[in-house]
Amino acid sequence: MINTIVKRDGRCVLFDIDKITDAIFKAAQALGGNDRQTARELAELVVKHVEQAHTDDNPPTVEEVQDAVEYQLVESGHARTAKEYILYRAQRTRIRDMNTRLMKTYEELTYQSAGENDVKRENANIDGDTAMGTMLKYGSEGAKQFYHMFVLNPVHSKAHLEGDIHIHDLDFLTLTTTCCQIDIEKLFRGGFCPGHGFLREPNDIQSYTALACIAIQSNQNDQHGGQSIPNFDYGMAHGVRKTYRKLYSRNLAKALELLVGLENADEATKAVREKVHAAHGLYPVLADDNGYRDLELPELAGFADEPTLMKAQAFAVEQAYQETKRATYQAMEALVHNLNTMHSRAGAQVPFSSLNYGTDTSPEGRMATEAILLATDAGLGHGETAIFPIHIFKVKEGVSFNPGDPNYDLFKLACRVSAKRLFPNFSFLDAPYNLQYYKPGHPETEIAYMGCRTRVIGNCHDRSREIVNGRGNLSFTSINLPRIAIRAKGDIDFFFEELDRKIDLVIDQLMERYQIQAKKKVRNFPFLMGQGIWIDSDKLGPDDEVGEVLKHGTLSVGFIGLAETLKALIGQHHGESEYAQNLGLDIIGHMRKRMDDATRETGFNYTLLATPAEGLAGRFVRIDRKLYGEIEGVTDHDFYTNSFHIPVYYNISASEKIRLEAPYHALTNAGHISYIELDGDPLKNLDAFEQVVRYMKECGIGYGSINHPVDRDPVCGYTGIIDEVCPRCGRHEGEAVSVEKLRSLGCWNGNVDCGYCGDPNEEAARLPNSVVE
Amino acid sequence: MENLNVQNNDSEMMVGEGVGFERIRRITGYLVGTLDRFNNAKRAEVNERVKHAVTREVKL
């Protein structure tokens, strides 16, 4: 006879046969059973079985009783119930493990620094050492565990935990969507409300850039991904226009005040300006080419004689132009500074901001583009390279690509700035898969990328709105491709069958996540939906569900490690043989086809993503190495290669890399990017830099970027390449240098606290002359 | 942001003891001011990167 049982924590408690009956009955119920009596009889058999090995002096453990239940169910022919019971038991074990693990994670987050703890460095843009950064991690880790235990479909949870798939931003599973392209023109029209208090439509370029930052920051708090402006130049052009208009009247007033002693000149010139506008619909413009001066002249007749008035007008035009240009530059400088210092998400991170520009050919748009590039070139307060925003220069034939194109000068400038500061990246509007959406005169049809790569334009939900503005990704989940390849053991058919099963799984998982997102209300997203940033959300009330408008977004299936996949399948990656490249294209082409099929079947925008995988790069390979051991070229590095990239450690020329990666851009319609690593200082070979960009365009790359080392010695201020020794002051890392030496180099200002005294060489090399005339 | 350690070395003042170099790198699309913030896997990836030679054929 058994009276007690030993629990997992070692406590002895009274044995209760009803608990066994309940467990068996629940397992049977899950299969539609409803026979409590049988459950009771089985429980009695279990007790008998346990009693064979245990007495009250030697009580059984919970695990032993559960083993006995499994045994008895199988023995008595209840195989399906047994299976269900085993599943239930495994699930309970998993939950217990997770609870223990969560507390362990919290302990590590609490007592380890980011230097020691990889979890704290999962995202390089969050400072895990700060109070808010750690608090964010507590929340994030706790949320993940909760979702695994109570929200996620157990099949999806298992696949994620075992590393078959990776559900990105899982900590936000029930909360929000990924990202959005903020239509800044639309947002500013009529003003907006970022929190408490209404912001009027801005009236000059300074307010335009300040509000652009606020828009990015506000929206960042409503979503878990980055934020982007697709039409930065078009949007800021309005600010430049208004600034010029104001400055023209102000300078005209100054001139008339001085020349003829006009009183209340500011009001007078402003009144004339509005009168001319009311009569002719024209304002003074930056290019001074719309005949405004001639229309204004008669209205000014009462103030002075004609030659004096014309002189005053000429003065106003000249001054207003210079002052507008200065104001625009200062506004962009402030924007760059703001986007590198302002915080979002409980202060834990700088917003992930991206700006797309380069195709507005109006004088005002060009001035805005030039100014943002020059401000980026100048760097931050001590000449440091700004980390945000991500700049994306739009390359388009006939607009900004070839000599003679109206914005070719800006393209050249973009190359030069990128060669120094790593940004801008380049997006290629002429790539066929981007060009198909392009309609001249409709900037919303120009492809825009979200910083790291996300791309949203095709729209099966509403074919009439295949645009970038107001849309974004809802969620994405990546498939562990190398694992499928390892398991296939060279069997290509098995590989594709298993890949299909994983794709099916992820398609379902993304849809289940959408179902959760769809139930959210406008009030859950005060800025994104409340201010009408997301497409069609302006037609909803605060208590309306967002499910319908979210259908404009994308559900994306990603992948990582194509190179390792090919290596595991056929022993070569796509940089090593044409055969491998063809198989690579088959695999990714198949995945794309599955996305297109799913789109057709569901009416949702399923797209294929070349996953950036910051947190994922190490996770999959760690699990796979444990499971399958170290496999050469597959699991023998500490990371799986980024999406379809040729491995970073493989020697290959720039042109070959571009040629091989370009076809994958056409297939990955949820986003892609290719990188080229340049040696040396590309500023010294701008021609080569531009040629690489041009070659990307010719090969059909959609989005590309060039990496090169950007180092800086904070002591002497040198910016460039530093190997072991600073080329300017000659110190090694961590070494002291004499003030005498710094003084002789002209980089010491006696500021012991800062040490930095400016960088005379770097400052001299800045772009002093504007390219826009 | 730069706290440069200053020490007096007899007659001549020294600065910069313990101050490292900043190395800005791009990581999954984002720039990061120092390698310290990268996770282990990405640190390994950055260390293994090789340069891509620009050959004549790139010329258009």
pLDDT of residue A348: 64
pLDDT of residue A741: 87
pLDDT in tens, A637-687: 999 999 999 999 999 999 999 999 999 999 999 999 999 999 888 988 899
Among residues A43, A67, A87, the one where a domain terminates is A87
Q: Which of A694, A715, A759 to mutate to test the interface with B (most CBs of B within 10 A)?
A: A715
With H, G, I as helix, E, B as strand and everything else as coil, classify residue A711: strand
pLDDT of residue A124: 65
Number of structural domains, chain A?
4
- CA contacts within 13 A on the Cβ side of A752: 6
Answer yes or no: are the C-beta atoms of A661 and A701 closer than 8 Å: yes
Q: Is B37 part of a structural domain of the chain?
A: yes
- Shared domain for A233 and A367, answered yes or no, is yes
Q: Give every residue of chain A whose pLDDT is below 70, as ranges.
A: 123-126, 345-348, 614-615, 749-773
- Shared domain for A160 and A226, answered yes or no, is no
- Shared domain for A35 and A156, answered yes or no, is no
pLDDT of residue A749: 66
Number of structural domains, chain B?
1
Q: Is B12 part of a structural domain of the chain?
A: no
Q: CB distance from A118 to chain B under 8 Å?
A: yes
pLDDT of residue A768: 44
Among residues A324, A342, A375, the one where a domain terminates is A375
Q: Is A721 part of a structural domain of the chain?
A: yes
- Shared domain for A371 and A496, answered yes or no, is no
Distance (Å) from the alpha carbon of A524 to chain B's nearest alpha carbon: 28
| Short-list A285, A279, A302, A180, CA closest to A229 | A180
Contacts of B32 (CB under 8 A, 6+ apart): A124, A125, A387, B24, B25, B26, B38
pLDDT of residue B16: 85
- Shared domain for A602 and A498, answered yes or no, is yes
Q: CB distance from A610 to chain B under 8 Å?
A: no
- Shared domain for A235 and A262, answered yes or no, is yes
pLDDT of residue B2: 41
pLDDT of residue A758: 47
- Shared domain for A262 and A163, answered yes or no, is no
Q: CB distance from A613 to chain B under 8 Å?
A: yes
- Shared domain for A160 and A217, answered yes or no, is no
pLDDT band at B43 (very low <50, low <70, confident <90, very high): confident
- Shared domain for A629 and A730, answered yes or no, is no
Please tell me the distance from the alpha carbon of residue A476 to that of residue A300, in angstroms, as a whole number.
62
Structural domain boundaries enclosing B46: 22-60
The answer, yes or no, to whether ipTM is higher than 0.95 is no
Residue type, A344: S
Q: Is A437 part of a structural domain of the chain?
A: no
| Short-list A664, A487, A470, CA closest to A583 | A664
Q: Is A735 part of a structural domain of the chain?
A: yes
- Shared domain for A174 and A218, answered yes or no, is no
Q: Is B17 part of a structural domain of the chain?
A: no
pLDDT band at B56 (very low <50, low <70, confident <90, very high): low
| Short-list A325, A403, A411, A405, CA closest to A368 | A325
Alpha carbon of B35 to those of A273, A285, A372, A773, B24: distances in Å? 55, 47, 27, 40, 7
Comparing CB atoms, the residue among A657, A734, A754 nearest residue B20 is A734
- Shared domain for A192 and A296, answered yes or no, is yes
Q: Is B26 part of a structural domain of the chain?
A: yes
Q: Is A673 part of a structural domain of the chain?
A: no
Q: Is B50 part of a structural domain of the chain?
A: yes
Among residues A580, A606, A641, the one where a domain terminates is A641
Q: Is B34 part of a structural domain of the chain?
A: yes
Instruction: List CB contacts (< 8 A) between A654 and chain B.
Output: 52-55, 58
Nearest residue of chain A to residue B46 (CA atoms): A648
Q: Which tokens go with A81?
A: 């119930």
Q: CB distance from A122 to chain B under 8 Å?
A: yes
- Shared domain for A517 and A494, answered yes or no, is yes
* Average pLDDT for chain B: 73
pLDDT of residue A347: 61
pLDDT of residue A194: 77
Q: What CA dihedral angle connects A263, A266, A271 and A276, to 10 degrees? A: 110
Distance (Å) from the alpha carbon of A663 to chain B's nearest alpha carbon: 17
Structural domain boundaries enclosing A34: 4-87
